[in-house]
Amino acid sequence: MNKKQKKMLVRIIVATVLMIALNFIPAKGATRFLLYLIPYIIIGYDILIKAIKGIKNGQAFDESLLMAIATIGAMALAIYEDGDYMEAIAVMLFYQIGEWFQSYAVGKSRRNISSLMDIRPDYANIEKNGKLEQVDPDEVGIGSVVVVQPGEKVPIDGTVVVGSSSLNTSALTGESLPREVSVGDEIISGCINITGVLKIKTSKEFGESTVSKILELVENASSRKSKSEDFITKFARIYTPVVVYSAIALAIIPPLVRMFGMGLGADWGTWIYRALTFLVISCPCALVISIPLSFFAGIGGASKEGVLVKGSNYLEILAQTKYVVFDKTGTLTQGVFEVNGVHHNKMEEKMLLEYAALVESASSHPISKSLQHAYGKEIDRSRVTDIQEISGNGVTAKVDGTTVAAGNAKLMKKLGIKYMECHDVGTIIHMAVNEEYAGHIIISDIVKPHSKEAIAALKAAGVEKTIILTGDSKRVADQVAGYLGLDEVYSELLPADKVSKVEELLSLKLDKAKLAFVGDGINDAPVLTRADIGIAMGAMGSDAAIEAADVVLMDDDPLKIVKAIKISRKCLRIVHQNIWFAIGIKLICLVLGAIGIANMWLAIFADVGVMIIAILNAIRALFTKKL
């Protein structure tokens, strides 16, 4: 509990004790009123101040005004009829208990999200003259070497250049098992170093590192409202003034009718009491508080599992997802390509690999990296000139003045070079040297361990179609899709083709069904934006993909997609339960209050009781382990 919550709890306890104690004091008249006024002021002074401020600011119609009118009116009636002051104090007391529950619940949800703030590093260690100097992470430039000792947070994304260690990534990914890293491994900021000392060469500035991106996403998540939240906000703006005017009408019209001889057997005091009861019952606290809290708790629960949702509107869309479209490389597969075959034609294998590695040296694509890795020597880029990348086809360049082309069959056809067909499974890189076919290199990707399980789990969760879009050859795409159990396959697509295909799928689906696209690369950003909801692999995904996506999976595990959908559906179920429960109970109690059956104690239940039940129900969205 924070200081404000502790202070409120003390006020609740003091007011409760005084209210009970006053029942045993035989006071009458003004003395009795003044004694009961003490616990009323203790528990309700802030509500009265809010109501006055609301009237001054032109925003009078809120729950504070309803509580103020109802309790002041009840106190006035008790004075007029020498009645019981307990009801007025009880209304304010139980309302404040409900507010305390709401504050505690929001705090718990916020702590789940704010626990991510612990990943923010306070400093970075730079080695100078044999000593470690702590500097602000913002001052560390790209290419600097930072030292991370056991127990410290990795301050900036980079590559390990010295040392090996275990990393605690739970704050980022929700995964409790440590990750082992050694020289050459990429490492993201926000992880906690557990064992050995690491030296990391930074690849980004602090403002562009993973930890900064995550914190920015978390801080902005609550600003994007769902349709349900927008509806409740608009509903409350109209509902509250209508309730106030209805209560005034209920207090005035029946006694006036009686005065004019219409035979309604009730006096002013009875109808004013019913109007005050009506006001307490009608307070929209349960809806106004529990609906945003449900979404907030859902976002908090998801973040605890390593799934960052950028807003409650995306949580709502995710719950309606019936079509999941995947990019292949880095999403369902590891994006770790290995050369597992070289077929050469009148050229030595080593020479063919050398040409391939050099001509692809300017590219950061995983396939290019695998060629460079297979070459096994340091790349001398000064040997390569006139590099020209042909989108969706390959690369041409001059290596030591020799014209070299590396790419798929489309590139060979484009250059008018007769090539050898290859039916091996994998990505085929055809090579041409001096406009003559020199052979081809076979590169294979590795399917992620949980991809097959994730596809099966999505179908079990009610996803109607799972689809793969890839630039790979039909043969490779069909093999991966068949192994994983995907419903549809679209291969040999350029980045623009992926956008067109998603637009086509969007036009064919049912209106209420939503389409999610899952990707990780720079070329996935346009598709992530175009889909109903974009899901990016965050651990090793590109910055562009993370920026464009609506949901970010922090450990690149496709099983987290299923977890995210289940969390969103649970959250939406809770929202709908709270809406129907709150409205249903209030309508019943409003009718009972208007006809005089419901008293102020039932009104307290209809307001505060329903609010507490709705809040406790909303908190369930935080718990996701069994989903």
Show which residues are catalytic.
Answer: 327
Give the C-alpha distances (Å, rounded to integers) separating 497 from 152, 175, 489, 504: 45, 35, 13, 10
Pairing of strands 514-519, 321-327: parallel
* Relative orientation angle of helices 63-81 and 268-282, to the nearest 10 degrees: 150
CB 384, CB 356: distance < 8 Å: no
End-to-end CA distance of the chain: 28
Q: Look at phi and psi of residue 551 and say left if phi exceeds 0, alpha if psi is from -120 to 50, else beta.
A: beta
Inter-residue long-range contacts of 354-357, CB under 8 Å, 24+ positions, other chains counted: 355/399, 355/402, 355/404, 355/406, 355/431, 355/433, 355/438, 356/406, 356/429, 356/431, 356/441
Strand ranges in 349-455 using DSSP code E only, listed in sequence order: 384-390, 394-399, 402-407, 427-433, 436-444
Q: Cα separation of 199 and 196, whole Å?
A: 10
* Relative orientation angle of helices 227-259 and 559-594, to the nearest 10 degrees: 0
Cβ burial 286-314 (10 Å sphere, 16+ → b, else e): bbbbbbbbbbbbbbbbbbbbbbbbbbbbb
Candidates 238, 235, 275, 283; CA nearest to 253 is 275
Tokens standing for 183? Answer: 């020289």
SS3 assignment for 97-149? HHHHHHHHHHHHHHHHHHHHHHHCCCCEEEEECCEEEEECHHHCCCCCEEEEC
CB atoms within 10 A of CB 31: 10
The amino acid that residue 422 corresponds to is C
What 8-state DSSP symbol labels residue 418?
A: -
Candidates 127, 181, 124; CA nearest to 156 is 124
CB 522, CB 537: distance < 8 Å: no
The amino acid that residue 315 corresponds to is L
Cβ burial 449-481 (10 Å sphere, 16+ → b, else e): ebbbebbebbbebebebbbbbbbbbebbbbbbb
Give the C-alpha distances (Å, rounded to integers) separating 621 from 106, 246, 298, 300: 12, 35, 5, 8
Strand ranges in 117-274 using DSSP code E only, listed in sequence order: 124-128, 131-135, 145-148, 158-162, 165-168, 179-181, 186-187, 192-193, 198-202
CB 443, CB 463: distance < 8 Å: no
SS3 522: helix
The upper half-sphere exposure of residue 337, i.e. CA atoms within 13 Å in the direction of its Cβ, equals 26
Give the residue carrying structure tokens 């409650």: 312
Q: Cα separation of 358 and 340, whole Å?
A: 19
CB 536, CB 528: distance < 8 Å: yes
Tokens standing for 327? Answer: 């990019």
What 8-state DSSP symbol labels residue 389?
A: E
CA dihedral 301, 306, 309, 315 (to 10 degrees): -50
